[in-house]
Amino acid sequence: MIIKSADIETLAAWAEHYPQELLPEIAFAGRSNVGKSSTINCLTNRKNLARTSGQPGKTQTLNFYKINEEFRIVDLPGYGFARVSKSSRKTWQKMMEMYFTQRVCLEEIVVIVDIRHKPSPEDQEMYKMVLEMGFRGIVVANKADKLSRSAQNKQMAVIRETLMMPSEKDLLIPFSSESGQGREELLAVIQLKLDEVYVEEEDEESQE
């Protein structure tokens, strides 16, 4: 996949503010400060497309980015930041439940974890929920540049075991927004998913 254009479309908290045009959407989920925004910037080759912050829990909206005028990447608010109030956590849960269950053009969810650490209980819960909702689930092990190749392989095994994804068909991609490791692989996976969506749409149109 070649990214020709990438633009922020809107920031939204609730369904009435989501973009009206139903383009396929790929959502990115992860703990606060795990590097979702940096991952999106790396994918799109745009340094400042997605807002990055050293302050965990700062993002409180779903950020919609239109890519190539064909699909969207959606940066979800981070989870798991201990200093966030209970009311903020409940608001986050409501936002995510609404988006996950009502957004008909949501096609896949990418879960980003830190390759240096064992996935947290929140990571495990998110990945389990993604699978239960019928998505394939793509796990991106971010910050791979912080580890040697041998250490990466060791941590990848830990992540697979913790998330209970023993099959090689369960996608786990080591990634680095600094070095670009895993960028082409992740773009290829997204393109494959979009191709599947377009084929399904064509089949539906031919049956009408």
**Per-residue confidence (pLDDT) for residue 96, from 0 to 100:** 87
Residue 203 banded pLDDT, cuts 50, 70, 90:
low
Helix (H) or strand (E) holding 153: helix 149-162
- pTM, entire model: 0.89
Distance between CA atoms of 22 and 151, rounded to whole angstroms? 41
Q: What is the per-residue pLDDT across 26-63, written as a single tens digit (0 to 9) for each?
A: 999 999 889 899 999 999 999 888 876 555 455 578 99
Cα 78 from Cα 76, distance rounded (Å): 6
Instruction: Write the pLDDT tens digit of every residue in 98-116.
Output: 999 999 999 999 999 999 9
Sorted by where each begins, the domain ranges of the chain are 6-207
Tell me if the domain spanning 6-207 has CATH number 3.40.50.300: yes
Average per-residue pLDDT for the chain: 88
Write down the pLDDT at residue 107: 96
